[in-house]
């Protein structure tokens, strides 16, 4: 049986893969795992439920709320808010669990359910497995324990969540943004109201695009996966910078005054030096994934900052940050975690801190991001191969070793098996794009020949 939980919750086409019945059942299972009452009955479990603006989120939210309340959990409905806002409120309100309905940067027909544990933290694999096990037991006929009378959960709106989250963001700002003109692209998603409001209250002059969600237009030509409109708007309006979010606003990418993209690696480099200067970069270390550009690693080493690398996925970054007590980590895609102020990637917080560094230094974003040079990166997908043998094939191993000798200190090779498809991803970085393409092509040929 295929596992329901993926790398970030349960996700699929709404009303096809992800149905109201599934949402209700998973929520009851989550209530039993995460929201247990104490033995004396003095503690009534509480949940925070939020969503992005997708049309399907309306009926899925109803199913989730029904499931939780039927299991005896009191529910606070916070409405349309970013994933990091729901995580923050789960912790701040002392809730036993949180639920976010979003498919992040996926197209509108998709949706997803992300469960959040007490304190606002992502679930461990063990907790996900326990929820899934209970869900499947009920599917196969095992009845739920159902409270009655006063034991059922109560449901109410919590409209204060918006202002409470914005106040939290402003409370961690090191300085104001007065004098900056900033374009915000909300991806017609969960940050369409929150992000412009936070930047305005912080003192910036704000121009908005992608902030008119209809329920049908999330991520459609806007947001962190479609930067073209933001790049044009920044240049056209003479803005100092632009900030782009994804559908649930746990990501942030940026654009400098000339319209050039500033990716997650560059954002982390800027924030790492800001935190180092402020004395808040614990252990003088940043946590990133193996997909971070080699230029990022070289820049940090040059600045005397250490980098630890994890497997791809912000959950692995977060696990390493918690394990080692580190303050900053993230991914090239724009998931940036500032652990002193957030339990997950927070696109609005990231954008605010990036803009604060520009305001505090008086330097342009391009100049600040210039601390690192992105080395050319080539990615080739090799389909229809036995990906399980990529780490054990002598032919592939010899080809990788030869490529690494050729590239030396200014290049890098990474071979990764796809988690969902029968293919191997070949990534090569080099100081010269032609060399990167040549080496990637040769490696892809060897992978195809040896594993095909």
Query: Mean pLDDT highest for which of 34-43, 91-100, 121-130, 400-409?
Result: 91-100
Q: What is the mean pLDDT of residues 144-169?
A: 96
Q: Pick the closest to residue 44 from 85, 91, 97 (CA basis).
A: 97
Q: How far apart are CA 129 and CA 126, in angstroms?
A: 5
**Residue 36 reports pLDDT greater than 80:** no
Task: State the pLDDT at residue 335.
Answer: 95
The pTM score is 0.91
Task: State the pLDDT at residue 390.
Answer: 85
Q: How far apart are CA 313 and CA 315, in angstroms?
A: 5
The verdict on whether 104 is a catalytic residue reads yes
Average of per-residue pLDDT values in the chain: 94
Q: Is 104 annotated as a binding residue?
A: yes
Q: Which residues does 297 contact at the CB level (< 8 Å), separation at least 6?
A: 288, 307, 309
DSSP state of 171: H
**Residue 222 reports pLDDT greater than 80:** yes
Task: Give the pLDDT band of residue 200 (cuts 50, 70, 90).
Answer: very high
Q: How far apart are CA 71 and CA 370, in angstroms?
A: 53
**Residue 176 reports pLDDT greater than 90:** yes
Q: How far apart are CA 449 and CA 248, in angstroms?
A: 41
Comparing 43 with 438, which gets the higher pLDDT?
A: 438
Mean pLDDT is lowest, of 154-163, 250-259, 287-296, 420-429, for 420-429
Q: What is the mean pLDDT of residues 107-132?
A: 94
Q: What is the mean pLDDT of residues 27-38?
A: 85
C-alpha pair distances (Å), 330 with each of 7, 319, 336, 360, 441: 15, 11, 4, 23, 29
Phi-psi region of 79 (alpha: psi -120 to 50; beta: other; left: phi over 0): left
Task: State the pLDDT at residue 84.
Answer: 97
Q: Is 246 annotated as a binding residue?
A: yes
State the pairing for strand pair 285-289/261-262.
unpaired
Task: State the pLDDT at residue 141.
Answer: 82
Q: Which residues does 382 contact at the CB level (< 8 Å), separation at least 6?
A: 423, 424, 425, 426, 444, 447, 448, 451
**Residue 382 reports pLDDT greater than 90:** yes
Tokens, residue 163: 């202002």
Q: How far apart are CA 129 and CA 124, in angstroms?
A: 9
Task: State the pLDDT at residue 420.
Answer: 62
C-beta neighbour count of 24 within 10 angstroms: 19
Mean pLDDT is lowest, of 238-252, 260-274, 388-402, for 388-402
Q: Are 242 and 254 in contact (CB under 8 A)?
A: yes
User: Which residue of the set 102, 104, 224, 333 is catalytic?
Assistant: 104
Mean pLDDT is lowest, of 32-46, 60-74, 156-170, for 32-46
DSSP state of 413: E
Backbone angles phi, psi at 247, to 5 degrees: -60, -40
Three-point CA angle 215, 216, 219, nearest 5°: 100
Task: State the pLDDT at residue 140.
Answer: 83
Give the whole-number percent of the chain exceeding pLDDT 90.
84
**Residue 4 reports pLDDT greater than 70:** yes
Tokens, residue 235: 């240049």
Q: Which residues does 258 contact at the CB level (< 8 Å), separation at least 6?
A: 235, 366
Task: Give the pLDDT band of residue 20 (cuts 50, 70, 90).
Answer: very high
Q: Are 305 and 284 in contact (CB under 8 A)?
A: yes
Q: Is 248 annotated as a binding residue?
A: yes
Task: Give the pLDDT band of residue 116 (cuts 50, 70, 90).
Answer: very high
**Residue 50 reports pLDDT greater than 80:** yes
Task: Give the pLDDT band of residue 421 (cuts 50, 70, 90).
Answer: confident
Element (H, E) at 425: strand 423-429
Q: Is 452 exposed, middle or buried (0-12, 13-18, 19+ CB in 10 A)?
A: exposed
Q: Domains along the chain? A: 10-160 (3.40.120.10), 168-369 (3.40.120.10), 377-451 (3.30.310.50)
The three state secondary structure string of 136-165 is: HHHHCCCCCCCCCHHHCCCEEECCCHHHHH
Q: Are 23 and 67 in contact (CB under 8 A)?
A: yes
Query: In whole angstroms, how large is the CA radius of gyration of the chain?
Result: 23
The residue behind tokens 């594993």 is 451
Comparing 227 with 451, which gets the higher pLDDT?
A: 227
Task: State the pLDDT at residue 41.
Answer: 56
Task: State the pLDDT at residue 38.
Answer: 47
Backbone angles phi, psi at 429, to 5 degrees: -115, 145
Q: What is the mean pLDDT of residues 57-73?
A: 97
Task: State the pLDDT at residue 40.
Answer: 45
The three state secondary structure string of 251-316 is: CCEEEECCCCEECHHHHHHHHHHHHHHHCCCHHHEEEEECCCCHHHHHHHHHCCCEEEEECCCHHH
Q: Are 263 and 253 in contact (CB under 8 A)?
A: yes
The pairs formed by 317-325 with CB atoms below 8 angstroms and a separation of 24 or more are 317/287, 317/288, 317/289, 318/122, 318/344, 320/287, 321/287, 324/283, 324/285, 324/287, 325/282, 325/283
Task: State the pLDDT at residue 389.
Answer: 87
Task: State the pLDDT at residue 39.
Answer: 43
Task: State the pLDDT at residue 26.
Answer: 97
Tokens, residue 302: 């040059």
Task: State the pLDDT at residue 387.
Answer: 87
Q: How far apart are the first and last CA of the chain?
A: 27
Q: What is the mean pLDDT of residues 332-350?
A: 96
């Amino acid at each position: 049986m295929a596992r329901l939980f993926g790398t970030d919750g349960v996700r699929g086409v709404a009303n096809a893969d992800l149905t109201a019945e599934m949402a209700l059942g998973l929520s009851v299972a989550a209530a039993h795992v995460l929201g247990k009452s104490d033995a004396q009955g003095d503690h009534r479990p509480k949940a925070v439920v939020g969503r992005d603006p997708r049309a399907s989120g309306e009926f899925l939210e109803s199913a989730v709320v029904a499931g939780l309340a039927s299991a005896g959990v009191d529910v606070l409905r916070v409405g349309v808010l970013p994933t990091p806002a729901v995580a923050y409120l789960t912790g701040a309100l002392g809730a036993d669990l949180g639920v976010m309905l979003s498919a992040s940067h996926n197209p509108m027909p998709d949706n997803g359910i992300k469960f959040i544990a007490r304190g606002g933290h992502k679930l461990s694999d063990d907790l996900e497995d326990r929820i899934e096990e209970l869900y499947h037991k009920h599917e196969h006929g095992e009845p739920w324990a159902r409270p009655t009378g006063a034991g059922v959960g109560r449901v109410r709106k919590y409209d204060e969540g918006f202002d409470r989250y914005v106040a939290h963001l402003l409370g961690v700002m090191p300085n104001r943004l007065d004098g900056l003109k900033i374009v915000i692209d909300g991806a017609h998603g969960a940050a369409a109201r929150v992000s412009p409001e936070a930047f305005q209250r912080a003192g910036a002059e704000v121009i908005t695009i992608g902030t008119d969600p209809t329920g049908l237009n999330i991520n459609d030509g806007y947001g962190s996966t479609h930067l073209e409109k933001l790049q044009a708007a920044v240049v056209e309006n003479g803005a100092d910078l632009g900030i782009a979010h994804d559908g649930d606003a746990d990501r942030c990418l940026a654009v400098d005054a000339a319209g050039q993209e500033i990716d997650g690696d560059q954002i982390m480099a800027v924030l790492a030096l800001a935190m180092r200067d402020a004395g808040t970069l614990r252990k003088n270390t940043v946590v990133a994934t193996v997909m971070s550009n080699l230029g990022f690693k070289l820049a940090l080493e040059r600045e005397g900052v250490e980098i630890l690398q994890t497997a791809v996925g912000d959950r692995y970054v977060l696990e390493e940050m918690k394990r080692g007590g580190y303050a900053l980590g993230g991914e090239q895609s724009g998931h940036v975690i500032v652990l002193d102020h957030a339990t997950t990637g927070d696109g609005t917080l990231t954008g605010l801190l990036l803009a604060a560094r520009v305001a505090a230094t008086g330097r342009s974003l391009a100049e600040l991001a210039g601390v690192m040079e992105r080395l050319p990166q080539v990615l080739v997908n090799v389909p229809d191969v036995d990906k399980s043998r990529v780490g054990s094939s002598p032919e592939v191993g010899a080809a990788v070793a030869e490529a690494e000798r050729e590239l030396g200190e200014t290049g890098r090779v990474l071979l990764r098996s796809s988690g969902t498809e029968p293919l191997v991803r070949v990534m090569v970085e080099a100081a010269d794009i032609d060399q990167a393409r040549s080496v990637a092509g040769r490696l892809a040929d060897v992978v195809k020949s040896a594993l095909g």
